[in-house]
Structure 1
Amino acid sequence: MSHVPRAAMPPILPDNTPPFAVDEPAIKPPVQPAPTGIARRATRLNEWMRRYSWAVAMTVAIVITVGGLIILESGRMRIASEYETALEAKGATTQLSMLAADIASLTADERGFALKADGAYQSHFRDATARVRRTLAWLDAYYRRIGDDTALASFAQIRAAADAAIAQGTARLTNPPSDAAARNRTLALPPDTSATLDAALALLRLNEEQRAQHALDASRADQRISTLCVAALCALNIVLFILLFRNLGIQLDKQARVQKALITQQEELDNLVFARTRQLEALAWHLQSVSENEKTELARELHDELGSILTASKMDVAWVRGKLKDSEPAMAEKLARALGNLDQGIALKRRIIEDMRPTVLANFGLVTALRSLVDEAAQRNGWSVEFDLPGEDMKLGEAVEIALFRVAQETLTNAAKYARASRIRVALTIDEANVSLSITDDGIGIRPQDLKRTQTHGLVGMRQRVSARGGRFEIERAAPRGTAISVSMPRERSADAPIAEPSA
């Protein structure tokens, strides 16, 4: 044993030292300072705003719209209330004017009746009295509703004067004076009472007109405010929607770019998968070709080498047995058993060679090889067989024949293991362009979940073998039971050679 000098031996490294250590650079890159809490919060806020700005804008727009609607509704209610106030004030002014006219009519009726005792004056006086009382009742309810104490005090004076005038006129029209002096006193109305009543009515009318004008001015101001609010609301919503649609456009553009990048990446992945698939197909076909070649070489060596050895051994043992048959019966019996074992070995050798490289296929063709293969499988498993094969063998090409024979071999093996069938049908159809093979059994049938399994190497191998030759492989449950396998592939392929491995 040669010894390595100590100086040439590599240094022993500690357990935690990597086998290939790389020196660290002398100058390290500057360390970036860690972001502060405020910077992190600002970054998170900016990220949140970029992500949810459309939601914030939509929420703000909804809030502003609802708030604007509330403001507009309250303004509308104020305007309606102010218009109602103005209408009531105008109505009160009208009622005061009617009250003044009716009181003047009472005085006129009273004087006319004093000049001439006519019943028409009494009837007109009663109608005027009724109108005056209704007007006074309406005005009393109106002033009490609005709560104007000053106007209510003035109205109390007017009401007292009106009641006094009605009572005095009623008394005079009921008991008119008999002499001329009394009638003259009736015609003379105290000037201070009439002036006070007219002044009070004029003051109330003026107050109601001012009230109506104030209410109208307030309603116009509210209308202007409502108009400004609507304009501001519309402008703000327009700005928000512009920002929203701008952000939406940015998001759509970003999404389009991302989608385009995804499509490009998907195309690249598809191309890569296609290239890798072609490489795997080429590799599978190469492995199948290598396997078939190795089987051929092994079958040839078994036939030539092992076959000659077994045949020579059999001949020698038979010669020795013939010499010892009479003198040594026990040894002859042992040698006879050895000859039987040699015959079994020779038969096993032939069966192995036939499985590796069927001589029937090489010598007679696919039709005869299929018939022989199916007959042997039927004898071993007790099947009844139905053939639909061409009458004569046709040369299809070595690769095509091997592929179809291996598919039939694997199918019969699976049927013997799993199908529990009693009947097998084999059909082969050959035309100018394609060759089709169909094998059907009446067993339990393949399960749907087994069709999707990737661990079923037999099915995968058959499918790969057929697809490598540009063919189509199908397997399905037969009706009413059983499994049907069909293969179709071109009769000839360019140069009939293995598929070239595509460049990466």
Structure 2
Amino acid sequence: MSFLRTLETARRSRFAAPVALLLGLAVLLTNEIGHERARSVIASREALLEARVEVSTLMREVIAAESGQRGYLLTGRPEYKEPYTRAAAQVQAQLARLAQIYSAWPDRSADVRKLDELTRQRMSELDTTVTMFDNKASEGWRDVVLTDIGRETMLAIEGQARNMARVETARIDESRELLTETLLFSRIGIAALVVLSLAALLLYARQARRFDDERVERAAQLRFERDRLEVEVERRTRDITQIAKHLQTAREDERSSLARELHDELGGLLTAAKLDVARMRSRLTGAPPEVLERMMHLVKTLDEGIALKRRIIEDLRPSSLNNLGLKAALEILCTEFAERSEIEVRTDIEELPLDDAGKLTVYRLVQEALTNAAKYASASTVDVSLSEHGGWAMIAVRDDGIGFDPAAARAAAHGLAGMRFRVQSSHGQLKIKSKHGHGTTITARLPLPDHVQDAVDSTRDVATLLGPSSFPRPPANVG
């Protein structure tokens, strides 16, 4: 009762209203100062995030230009040049965009200028090779492509982009700390004023309750929006996965088509040329020895061309996989790899009842693993095994090479990402175990046709238990 009487006295006092007004103004001023500081920090943070995103976009466009240039050089078809031209224009626009963004930070002008110089240098190298290729004056463009100049420039660009990203990340962390300090200052100031203005705030309890109701409503709206965005992310992830699977299938179809064209067109030309040479050779029995020697050299060259054509076709689409089965195709692959690389390959392969997609997945997995062992592992022995266990096809490729740290693998290691996506697309699992100096082991398992539905149901059960935000999504980068 005494407390209520005190409140009533304060309410009737002529000083209560001015004091409440001053305290209210103080609270408002403190809140506005904190708000302005927080808004300034958030704006700075958003600008830093935008700068980092724009640098990443520039890197993507440079890589797209490089890919388009290579496609044009490999095919010589004008439609392959369009992606390069479009990406080159985007690179120029992106450089202007970066210059505009970083103009707000004069201390970063040196970094932007260096990235601009490296990028323009790389685009100049790409444009030079394309120009030389278009002029057809010489084969000098091939020598330029085969040098390490472009690779060194790209590494320099990537390094500069990473350095700039580190600086932006450090500044973002600083802005986060500043924002925390600002919020803490606001909280402390407001809390002190709240303590001083307790009597006035008690008189406005009804208003406070209304504010609480609004806060609860906003929290409910945020939860609803978060759930909606989570569903949208899952939907888009599924769409991207389907697109990636389609691109993978389209690439294999393109390989098959190219292999057929090489077999039918180029094979026919080489065979006809060899028959013509045989006819000419039968009529040159009395020719000088040097003519016969050149004729023998021509026959040998045609035989080498036919062998090269056959090897390219097998790399594009192994005919042994369809004609002889997975076991024979893998044994042929391992034997030819051992002959080319002089690496001992030991095999323990069983014939399993996989469908065509599963056979191709296993074949490409082993092919990529052998290629990595020859290019990067410096291995002397590779073991390849394929067996059945509990309705699963178990694949393992082990080498005794130098190994690597899987956690520190480069983001651009698309071979490993491609293997993982192939296996996951077939409802399988892939694991990579490696350590410096202890070799590398790549193991994978694929469900046999009778157990595919069980594998799909198992994946759905895991996704349901973990929730949409915790379920591991397949990689988006393939190849």
Superposition TM-score, scaled by structure 1 size:
0.49
Alignment partner, residue 145 of structure 1: none
List aligned pairs for 1:3-402, cutoff 5 A: 45=29, 48=32, 58-59=191-192, 239=199, 242=202, 256-390=216-350, 393-402=351-360
Structure 2 equivalent of residue 457 of structure 1:
414
Would you say 1:422 and 2:375 are equivalent positions?
no
Q: Secondary structure at the match of 1:430?
A: strand
Q: Distance in 2 between matches of 1:331 and 1:447?
A: 59
Query: What's the CA shift string for 1:50-102, capped at 9, x where partnerless?
Result: 98998567535766xxxxxxxxxxxxxxxxxxxxxxxxxxxxxxxxxxxxxxx
Larger CA Rg, structure 1 vs 2 = 1
Q: Is the 8 A contact 1:445 1:478 kept in 2?
A: yes
SS at match of 1:474: strand
Query: Would the alpha carbon gap of residues 62 and 263 (structure 1) be closer, same or farther in structure 2, given more than 3 Å must change?
Result: closer
CA-based RMSD of the aligned residues comes to: 3.4
| Contact 2:401–2:437 under 8 Å retained in 1 | no
What are the superposed Cα offsets for residues 420-464 of structure 1, whole Å, 9 maximum, x if unpaired? 11111112122463212111111111223443x331111121122
Conserved 8 A contact 2:395-2:443: yes
Q: CA deviation at 1:400?
A: 0.5
Distance in 1, Cα, partners of 2:239 & 2:375: 33
TM-fit CA distance, 1:405 = 0.5
Q: 1:483 aligns with which of 436, 440, 443?
A: 440
Instruction: Check the 8 A contact 1:365/1:395 in 2, yes or no.
Output: no
Larger RCO, structures 1/2 (Cα 8 Å, 6+ apart) = 1
C-alpha deviation, 1:330, in angstroms: 2.1
SS in 2 for 1:484: strand
Q: Could you list the runs of 5+ residues in structure 2 that have no partner in the other structure?
A: 1-24, 36-184, 454-479
Q: Is the 8 A contact 1:446 1:476 kept in 2?
A: no
- Select 2:406's aligned residue among 448, 460, 471: 448
The residue number in structure 2 matching 1:403 is: 361
- Classify 1:56/1:282 alpha carbon distance in 2 versus 1 (closer, same or farther; 3 Å): closer
Q: Distance in 2 between matches of 1:357 and 1:284?
A: 20
Does the 8 Å CA contact 2:327/2:349 hold for their aligned counterparts?
Answer: yes
Shift, 1:482, TM fit: 1.0
Deviation at 1:466? 1.4
Superposed CA deviations along residues 441-499 of structure 1, whole A, max 9, x for unmatched, are: 11111223443x331111121122111111112212159711111111222257xxxxx
Indicate conservation of the 8 Å contact 1:318/1:335, yes or no: no
SS for the counterpart of 1:443 is: coil
Q: Give the Cα separation in 1 of the matches to 2:329 and 2:209.
A: 71
Task: Output the CA distance in 1 between the equivalents of 2:271 and 2:226.
Answer: 64
Q: Aligned-pair distance for 1:409?
A: 0.7
Select the residue among 409, 417, 426 that pairs with 1:469.
426
CA 1:397 to 1:266, structure 2 compared with 1: closer, same or farther past 3 Å? same
Q: Distance in 1 between matches of 2:187 and 2:305?
A: 85
- Kindly provide the amino acid, as one letter, of the partner of residue 437 in structure 1: I
Q: Please name the residue that 1:212 is paired with.
A: none
Q: Distance in 1 between matches of 2:27 and 2:293?
A: 99
Q: Is contact 1:58–1:244 with CA below 8 Å preserved after alignment?
A: no
Residues 346, 383 of structure 2: 8 Å contact kept: yes
2:401 is paired with a residue whose SS is coil
Structure 1 residue 240: deviation in Å? 5.9
The offset of 1:248, in angstroms, is: 7.5
Tell me the distance in 2 between the aligned counterparts of 1:433 and 1:370. 21
Q: In 2 relative to 1, CA 347–58 (structure 1 residues): closer, same or farther, beyond 3 Å?
A: closer
**1:204-226 CA distances to partner (integer Å, 9 max, x unpaired)?**
xxxxxxxxxxxxxxxxxxxxxxx
How many residues matched? 278
* Matched-pair contact (CA < 8 Å) for 1:478–1:484: no
Alignment correspondent of 1:84: none
Secondary structure of the residue that 2:396 maps to in structure 1?
strand
Separation in structure 2 between the aligned mates of residue 316 and residue 50 of structure 1, nearest angstrom? 89
Structure 1, gaps ≥5 residues long: 1-40, 64-235, 495-504
> Quick one: structure 1 residues 59 and 288, their matched pair in 2 at CA, closer, same or farther if it must change by over 3 Å?
closer
For normalisation by structure 2, the TM-score amounts to 0.52
Q: Please say if residues 27 and 193 of structure 2, whose CA atoms lie closer than 8 Å, have aligned partners that are also in contact.
A: no
Q: Is the 2:30–2:186 Cα contact (8 Å) retained in structure 1? A: no
Return the offset for 1:383.
2.1
Q: Verify the 8 A CA contact 1:436 1:486 in the aligned structure 2.
A: yes
Q: Secondary structure of the equivalent of 2:283?
A: helix
Q: Report if the CA contact (8 A) 2:31-2:190 is conserved.
A: no
Deviation at 1:251, TM superposition (A): 6.6
- Say which SS state the counterpart of residue 324 (structure 1) adopts: coil
Q: Aligned in 2, Cα 1:388/1:323: closer, same or farther, shift over 3 Å?
A: same
Structure 2 counterpart SS, 1:385: strand
CA distance in 2, matches of 1:253, 1:53: 22
The one-letter amino acid paired with 2:253 is: N
- 2-structure distance, mates of 1:350, 1:372: 14
For residues 378 and 244 of structure 1, do their structure 2 counterparts lie closer, same or farther at Cα, with a shift above 3 Å needed? farther
SS in 1 for 2:287: coil
Query: 1:388 offset after TM fit, Å?
Result: 2.6
Sequence identity percentage: 37
Amino acid at match of 2:394: S
One-letter amino acid matched to 1:426: V
Of residues 355, 370, 373, the one that matches 1:412 is 370
Kindly provide the amino acid, as one letter, of the partner of residue 354 in structure 1.
E
Question: CA 1:488 to 1:246, structure 2 compared with 1: closer, same or farther past 3 Å?
Answer: farther
Structure 2 residue 396 is the aligned partner of structure 1 residue 438? yes
Residue identity opposite 2:192 in structure 1: T
CA deviation vs aligned residue, 1:223-260 (integer Å, no higher than 9, x gap): xxxxxxxxxxxxx96x3674798788667655544443
Tell whether the 8 Å contact from 1:389 to 1:428 is kept in structure 2 after alignment: yes
SS at match of 2:352: coil
